[in-house]
Amino acid sequence: MNFISKKNVKILSTVLCITLTFSTTSITFADSTITTGTTLSTASDISDSNAVQDKLAAVEKAVYGTTQTGAIIDRINKLEQDYYGTSKNGNLVDRINSIYAQIFTNTYSPSAIAQMNGIEWSLMHQVSMHPIGQRLSDLETMLYGKPKSGTYYSRMLSLGNAAFGSSQQAIPLSHTLVPANTLIKIKLVTPLNSETMKAGDEVKYQVAEDVIYNGSMVFAAGGLGEGTVTSVSSAKNFGRDGKIGIDFAKTQAFDGTIVDTILGEKAKKEMKSEAMAAGASVAGMVLLGPIGIVGGVFVKGKNINLPAGTELFIQTKSDITLYGTPANSTSSNNTLNSTAQTVTQTSSSAE
């Protein structure tokens, strides 16, 4: 007798029960076990707009979970007070650009997003999609029994010390060229139902497993993302089953970079392979059209109803260079050790 694992049943249900389309547009994602209030913004989205308010809003979402209200000067003052403990001098544009770089940019040192991902992964082997404030409180509660006081920056340094054994929060990162068509297993956070969903609805998902390339972890389990429903067709008479089209376009890497992803041929092949391993017949799966559509043979006249946790595959759209952390670098005391380039954010970067 053949037994089908729960893992394979989830992937099988995806292959047999959902139509997935891909496009060249963007998205982001989340963890089914945590609040899905954070929305990802790409660096290109922000730079293309040339609006400092967009950068300010992106930082507020990353730190607090939502965009704040009020005058720009009051909002940047609050951010700087909460993050650094003091308001900085200079014009508003420079101040907003500075804290935006601190949160999102990995050019000279790991961004705050990369730091939080590194700390969480070191301690729990998964990352969270919560805003930075909540992530700090959750980790402190886990380690110390309650949240600590202080600036976000100082609390991050303290957690870095606990995770990496370094008061300077050294995170071993090295540049890794991740090729196009690298597979990423994801799982749904937002349940899919062809009776209740409509085009334009947001679909959240998370990275289901760490993605390792050339010895570096470049996508961590729990990595955030969002999709968009592009089309919905409810079940109809004469055995016409429901269908849902979803655009999977962006996935957050370990270093916080938002990577363009698609449901391509390699991902479809992997889903088909796992479905066959679970006992599905080849006749039970159909590939429709030359691009981006995975279909199945459905029970007549049934709507799609896929729960959170349903697994599927997507793939990177093009080559991209990411910061990765050594996959074998977590020791028994949760200290990351590596001969890779170490990128360190020192306290001077917060001055």
Count Cβ atoms within 10 A of the Cβ of residue 161 and give its class: 0-12 exposed, 13-18 middle, 19 or more buried: middle
CA dist., res. 290 & res. 103, Å (int): 40
Contact 331, 187 (CB under 8 A): no
**Structure pTM?**
0.67
Rounded to whole angstroms, what are the CA distances from 29 to 189, 190, 252, 306? 8, 10, 7, 17
CA dist., res. 150 & res. 104, Å (int): 21
Residues whose CB falls within 8 Å of the CB of residue 331, separated by 6 or more in sequence, listed in order: 337
CA dist., res. 24 & res. 248, Å (int): 9
| H or E segment to which residue 20 belongs | none
Contact 170, 342 (CB under 8 A): yes
* pLDDT tens, residue order, the chain (351 aa): 444 454 554 544 444 344 443 333 222 223 323 233 455 555 444 444 458 889 999 899 999 999 999 999 999 999 999 999 999 999 999 999 999 999 988 877 788 998 898 888 888 888 888 899 999 999 999 999 999 999 999 999 899 888 877 544 456 778 899 999 999 999 989 888 888 888 889 888 999 999 999 999 999 999 888 778 888 877 665 556 677 888 887 898 998 888 899 888 899 889 888 765 655 433 333 332 222 333 333 333 577 778 888 888 999 999 999 988 887 654 333 333 322 233 333 333 444
Angle at 183 between CA 179 and CA 184, to 5 degrees: 120
